[in-house]
Amino acid sequence: MTTMESLIGLVNRIQRACTVLGDYGGGDNAFSSLWEALPSVAVVGGQSSGKSSVLESIVGRDFLPRGSGIVTRRPLVLQLHKTDQASQEYAEFLHLPKRRFTDFAMVRKEIQDETDRVTGKTKQISPVPIHLSIYSPNVVNLTLIDLPGLTKVAVEGQPESIVQDIETMVRSYVEKPNCIILAISPANQDIATSDAIKLAREVDPSGDRTFGVLTKLDLMDKGTNALDVLEGRSYRLQHPWVGIVNRSQADINKNVDMIVARRKEREYFATSPDYGHLASKMGSEYLAKLLSQHLESVIRARIPSITSLINKSIDELESEMDHLGRPIALDAGAQLYTILELCRAFDRIFKEHLDGGRPGGDRIYGVFDNQLPAALRKLPFDRHLSLQNVRRVVSEADGYQPHLIAPEQGYRRLIEGALNYFRGPSEASVDAVHFVLKELVRKSIGETQELKRFPTLQAEIAAAASEALERFRDESKKTVIRLVDMESSYLTVDFFRRLPQEVDKGGNPAATTMDRYGEGHFRRIGSNVSSYVGMVSETLKNTIPKAVVYCQVREAKQSLLNHFYSQLGKKEGKQLSQMLDEDPALMERRQQCAKRLELYKAARDEVDSVSWVR
Ligand SMILES: Nc1nc2c(ncn2[C@@H]2O[C@H](COP(=O)(O)OP(=O)(O)OP(=O)(O)O)[C@@H](O)[C@H]2O)c(=O)[nH]1
């Protein structure tokens, strides 16, 4: 491959890839458009100026739709690929990648059909380009963009705005600094009124990137010639003007072969008394070569900026891909591994919350330090140990035979009744810690970046954790209730052994005796029970947190997802991949990014390879 061919081929390939990605300079995507950085040749001219004819004679083939009104209604990106002399000519559309057209009449039909597919039959225009590649031994490597002809009036059925719409679309191509403008003007019209030149002058005042093409030289009035234009006196451009003689309408009607037409054009210039001295620099073949060479030098000059644009885009895409997460492996083993990794990531964060690396774990201590003591303080012991109630309970416990020394049964009943009240705050502590843990699970799932893309797995982990927390809660409740029951099942003997001594310390046994069935007696019983209950309360205030931490917090830290893990091992590939279902929007985005990344990387490789050839 020669350097020139590889350079233009490079741009061709990048342009094709851009269109696949919908990146054709529309400007509505977030990435800097590579397309816009690529040099291209746009064919511009008024209606009937001979645009289609020039394009066709550059290609050497009839293939463009003809008709009245605005025929070209979508940009046609025409990529010419030179092939070996012996190979067969064919065309290929990007939107029909598998189909090779060898019949160029069918190419014309497909251009029409594809135009209608996007614009409808309403004669509207659309900026979405059609991509056509032509592989032929008779072309030079070149990319040309055929644009709708500039017009001054709308025809039947077209909205008035179409005149402006066409100009806007054409302008959007030619105002790009990388666009080479092929400005077509008919020789049988005053160059000063040429639509193409007018527009070119506006967007490229220095004439740096404008190639003036003069068609219909053969149609000029006898005795006149276009030397003033062709020799740059009428309107000066940086590049020399090229005169062209296309097939006339009569030739087209007679189906004059393009190759024959090229020969006739060559003969025209060679034998022309006016243009003979310019013959080697006239005609469509010369124009094609000139453009190709120019395109090559422009591309060469642009390589550094294309490279930096590509590198910048690759960086952006890679960081976005990192953010989105890489695609998931397909085999069950790798999926299981991924799920476990994700669970571990979650578990790590959850533990950090408990251990103080992240906030929230302190709320558990809050339960033990505030909620539990406050609830214990609020227990209605005053009511339970009121004089009246003490008397009632003791009398009932005595039955028909009042107690003789101390109301053993009465004491037991009063204590049992009081201890029962401890169930409430104990269970409430369990519940409170349960809710803290649940909230921390929820938070941790939200904070696990890696899980963001897997809503299904998030839900599964939440469900598994919540189920485990329920189990821990049940276990914890049983344990704290057991602590309370243990207090009732065996009372602290020492406490009561100490009691009579304390009573006696006061001195007067007679007073004690007299008092036995009076108010003082019951009050003392009440106060004894109260201090016993107070002692138990102090104990439980310490032991309930121990039980709760042991049954809930410690378990949550050690084995929150253990059950889930054991279930995972039994799952089949399909179930695993379901768990790794991603948000469809995110998958779509990743796919887009990956495709783009592939394009840019391929482009970088291509640029690298041609850079070395230089
Ligand atoms: N004799 C002669 N006729 C030409 C020449 N160039 C174009 N024509 C004729 O001019 C008419 C218009 O040419 P096209 O190539 O269709 O022009 P166009 O700019 O593509 O026209 P639209 O697509 O309608 O805007 C056709 O009948 C061509 O045969 C030329 O150099 N000599």
Ligand 1 pocket test: pick from 43, 44, 53, 57 the residue with the most ligand atoms within 8 Å of its Cβ: 53
Average pLDDT estimate for 53-74: 79
248 lines ligand 1 (CB under 6 A): yes
Residue (of 38, 157, 140) closest to 79 by Cα position? 140
- The rounded Å distance from CA 49 to ligand 1 centre is 6
Residues in Cβ contact with 556 at an 8 Å cutoff, skipping those fewer than 6 apart:
350, 354, 437, 468, 469, 472
Q: Which pLDDT band holds residue 562 (cuts at 50, 70, 90)?
A: very high
Share of the chain above pLDDT 70, in %: 89
Nearest CA to ligand 1 atom 12: 48
pLDDT tens sequence across 570-592: 888 888 888 888 878 888 888 88
Q: Determine the CATH number of domain 52-169.
A: 3.40.50.300
Q: What is the mean pLDDT of the chain?
A: 85
51 lines ligand 1 (CB under 6 A): yes
Q: Which pLDDT band holds residue 517 (cuts at 50, 70, 90)?
A: low
Under a CB-based contact definition with an 8 Å cutoff, are residues 81 and 136 in contact? Answer: yes
282 lines ligand 1 (CB under 6 A): no
Asked if the domains 52-169 and 176-304 are classified in one and the same CATH topology, the answer is yes
- The per-residue pLDDT for 516 is 56
Q: How many angstroms separate the CA atoms of 481 and 472, rounded?
A: 14
Higher pLDDT, 225 or 512: 225
- The rounded Å distance from CA 54 to ligand 1 centre is 8
pLDDT tens sequence across 416-425: 999 999 999 9
Strand order in the sheet with 242-243: 90-93, 130-136, 76-82, 142-146, 40-45, 179-186, 210-215, 242-243
Q: How many angstroms separate the CA atoms of 421 and 199, rounded?
A: 94
49 lines ligand 1 (CB under 6 A): yes
Q: Which pLDDT band holds residue 217 (cuts at 50, 70, 90)?
A: very high
- The rounded Å distance from CA 113 to ligand 1 centre is 22
Residue 25 has pLDDT above 80, yes or no: no
Q: What count of Cα atoms within 13 Å lies in the side-chain half-sphere of residue 527?
A: 9
247 lines ligand 1 (CB under 6 A): yes
218 lines ligand 1 (CB under 6 A): yes
Q: Which pLDDT band holds residue 57 (cuts at 50, 70, 90)?
A: confident
- The per-residue pLDDT for 300 is 79
Higher pLDDT, 449 or 13: 449
- The rounded Å distance from CA 51 to ligand 1 centre is 7
Residue 3 has pLDDT above 80, yes or no: no
Q: Which pLDDT band holds residue 308 (cuts at 50, 70, 90)?
A: confident
48 lines ligand 1 (CB under 6 A): yes
Domain ranges of the chain: 52-169, 176-304, 332-499+510-582, 584-613
- The per-residue pLDDT for 387 is 92
Q: Which atom of ligand 1 is nearest to the CA of 68?
A: 24
Residue 515 has pLDDT above 70, yes or no: no
Residues in Cβ contact with 451 at an 8 Å cutoff, skipping those fewer than 6 apart:
342, 345, 346, 445, 457, 458, 461
- The per-residue pLDDT for 29 is 43
Q: Domain 332-499+510-582 adopts which CATH fold?
A: Four Helix Bundle (Hemerythrin (Met), subunit A) (1.20.120)
Q: Which pLDDT band holds residue 135 (cuts at 50, 70, 90)?
A: confident
Higher pLDDT, 100 or 302: 100
- When mean pLDDT is compared across 168-177, 225-234, 374-383, 501-510, the lowest value belongs to 501-510
Higher pLDDT, 199 or 118: 199
Query: What does the block give as tokens for 558?
Result: 């050690």
Is the domain 176-304 a CATH 3.40.50.620 member?
no
Residue 4 has pLDDT above 80, yes or no: no
ipTM associated with this complex:
0.97
Q: How many CB atoms lie within 10 A of CB 164?
A: 11
- The rounded Å distance from CA 295 to ligand 1 centre is 25
Average pLDDT estimate for 96-119: 89
Share of the chain above pLDDT 90, in %: 43
- The per-residue pLDDT for 53 is 87
416 lines ligand 1 (CB under 6 A): no
Nearest CA to ligand 1 atom 26: 249
Residue 498 has pLDDT above 90, yes or no: no
Q: How many CB atoms lie within 10 A of CB 159?
A: 13
Average pLDDT estimate for 390-407: 89
Average pLDDT estimate for 481-491: 94
Residue 302 has pLDDT above 90, yes or no: no
Q: Which of 83-97, 179-193, 496-510, 598-612 has the highest mean pLDDT?
A: 179-193
Q: In terms of C-beta distances under 8 Å and separation of at least 24 residues, what long-range contacts does 186-191 make, across chains too? A: 186/46, 186/48, 186/49, 186/50, 186/214, 186/215, 186/216, 186/219, 187/214, 187/215, 187/216, 187/217, 187/219, 187/220, 187/226, 187/229, 187/243, 188/216, 188/219, 188/220, 188/221, 191/229, 191/234, 191/235
